[in-house]
């Protein structure tokens, strides 16, 4: 691939990935306003993150079929348009039930676009998968950071959470033509994506799915509840929103740099285990010494960005064939997101049951410790066995 075409593809991946998190992350700092406006519990608030994450799991396998029918470029464009449309409909929701209903298309669009990213990377950057993965991971994290930073200021500027979600949705709509322009040099290969057989019997694929689920649980739980937890400590919504922004911003450089480093030095497994253990200890710091919030969230963000960038590269390690990579990615994202969807809802229920976020945060510490244990099983030998490693391994 010529350098100019490669640069355009990277721009396209970055642009498209900007749309994959704002509709989820931007809700977190706005939860106190949503709760006051619609009169919902913390448990129901948790569904605003749980529903799109669950959709991202359930509809991830559909992505390759749509790409086979329409081509990956147009499938991603349609997914971005669906995210924007679902976001617009959420803005007009008069009741909590309607708000939750229109959260579903947002999750479906994110599932389709996100699942096709690793396939595009494998086809166009087979010799630099870590770097290309880091580019779109950085786009996801940049979009998350912008959403966290702007959600509360936009709401205060025009008097409510609906205006913030409206702006995010309008931005998603603008990204559709930008994606089509920047990706116009891509060569479609739809026949290679027809009806992929998901590797349900592969122990390697299940390991990737479990690790991804635990990493996703941590990310979405922190993104959804961190600001709320500090509002409970007496922080203003605006200040707590900036704390979430710091968390998201810290994920960007590590999500881009650490996969690149892991391509050249050491094992992804070591980087992932260390990042998960450091994050586990840092979450204990959030609980026991909340006054160090800015320091804690910077470390948590760096570790989470490292884990996300690494885990999104793992499907590329188990096969040299784009179709197999797509199948592994679809299973990893499908199972992983379906499981990850449970934690934001669960932590909201724990908060309602106990009256504070302390116990909920201890649950998150346990989940992060499990992520470290699961990542430790991803040895080089096991990954090299690829999708041929079955449950009888």
d(CA 182, CA 176): 10
What is the mean pLDDT of the segment spanning 136-146? 84
Q: What is the pLDDT of residue 191?
A: 40
Q: What is the pLDDT of residue 258?
A: 81
Residue 128 has pLDDT above 80, yes or no: no
Domains of the chain, residue spans: 3-184+191-388
Q: What is the pLDDT of residue 67?
A: 74
**CATH node for 3-184+191-388:** 1.20.1250.20
Token representation of residue 336: 């992983």
Q: What is the pLDDT of residue 124?
A: 66
Token representation of residue 4: 């100019």
Q: What is the pLDDT of residue 193?
A: 46
d(CA 97, CA 44): 10
More confident residue, 187 or 264: 264
Q: What is the pLDDT of residues 276-335, one digit of tens each?
A: 999 999 999 999 999 999 999 999 999 998 998 888 888 877 776 766 777 788 788 888
Region for residue 289 given its phi and psi (left: phi exceeds 0; alpha: psi -120 to 50; beta: otherwise): beta
* Residues in Cβ contact with 288 at an 8 Å cutoff, skipping those fewer than 6 apart: none
Q: How many CB atoms lie within 10 A of CB 251?
A: 28
What is this structure's pTM?
A: 0.76
Percent of the chain with pLDDT over 70: 89
Angle formed at CA 122 by CA 306 and CA 314, multiple of 5 degrees: 35
CA torsion 300-305-310-316 (nearest 10°) is: 150
What is the mean pLDDT of the segment spanning 179-204? 68
Q: What is the pLDDT of residue 383?
A: 67
Between the ranges 116-120, 209-213, 229-233, 312-316, where is the mean pLDDT highest? Answer: 209-213
Q: What is the pLDDT of residue 75?
A: 87
Q: What is the pLDDT of residue 266?
A: 72
Q: What is the pLDDT of residue 387?
A: 58
Q: What is the pLDDT of residues 214-236, one digit of tens each?
A: 999 998 888 888 888 898 888 88
């Amino acid at each position: 691939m010529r350098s100019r075409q490669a640069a355009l593809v990277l721009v396209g991946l970055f642009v498209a990935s900007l749309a994959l998190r704002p509709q989820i992350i931007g809700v977190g700092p706005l939860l106190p306003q949503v709760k006051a406006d619609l009169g919902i519990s913390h448990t129901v608030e948790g569904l605003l993150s749980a529903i799109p994450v669950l959709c991202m799991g359930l509809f991830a396998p559909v992505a390759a079929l749509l790409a086979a029918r329409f081509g990956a470029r147009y499938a991603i464009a349609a997914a971005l348009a669906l995210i924007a449309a679902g976001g617009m409909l959420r803005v007009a929701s008069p009741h909590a039930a309607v708000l939750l209903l229109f959260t579903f298309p947002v999750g479906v669009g994110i599932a389709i676009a996100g699942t096709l990213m690793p396939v595009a990377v494998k086809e166009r950057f087979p010799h630099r998968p870590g770097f290309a993965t880091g580019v779109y991971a950085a786009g996801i994290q940049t979009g998350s950071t912008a959403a966290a930073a702007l959600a509360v200021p936009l709401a205060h500027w025009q008097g409510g959470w609906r205006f913030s979600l409206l702006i995010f949705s309008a931005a998603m709509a603008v990204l559709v033509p930008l994606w089509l322009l920047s990706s116009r040099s891509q060569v479609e290969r739809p026949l290679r994506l027809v009806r992929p057989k998901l590797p349900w019997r592969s122990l390697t694929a299940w390991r990737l799915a479990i690790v991804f689920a635990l990493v996703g649980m941590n990310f979405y739980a922190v993104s959804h509840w961190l600001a709320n937890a500090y509002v409970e400590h007496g922080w203003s919504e605006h200040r707590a929103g900036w704390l979430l922004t710091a968390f998201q911003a810290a994920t960007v450089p590590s999500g881009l740099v650490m996969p690149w480093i892991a391509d050249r030095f050491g094992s992804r497994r070591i980087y992932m285990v260390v990042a998960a253990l450091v994050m586990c200890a840092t979450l204990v710091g959030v609980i026991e010494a909340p006054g160090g919030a800015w320091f804690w969230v910077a470390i948590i963000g760096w570790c989470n960005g490292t884990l996300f960038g690494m885990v999104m590269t793992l499907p590329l390690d188990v096969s040299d064939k784009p179709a197999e990579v797509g199948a592994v990615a679809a299973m990893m994202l499908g199972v992983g997101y379906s499981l990850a969807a449970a934690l934001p809802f669960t932590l909201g229920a724990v908060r309602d049951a106990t009256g504070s976020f302390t116990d909920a945060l201890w649950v998150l510490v346990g989940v992060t410790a499990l992520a470290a244990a699961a990542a430790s099983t991803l040895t080089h030998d096991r990954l090299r066995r690829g999708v041929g490693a079955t449950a009888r391994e």
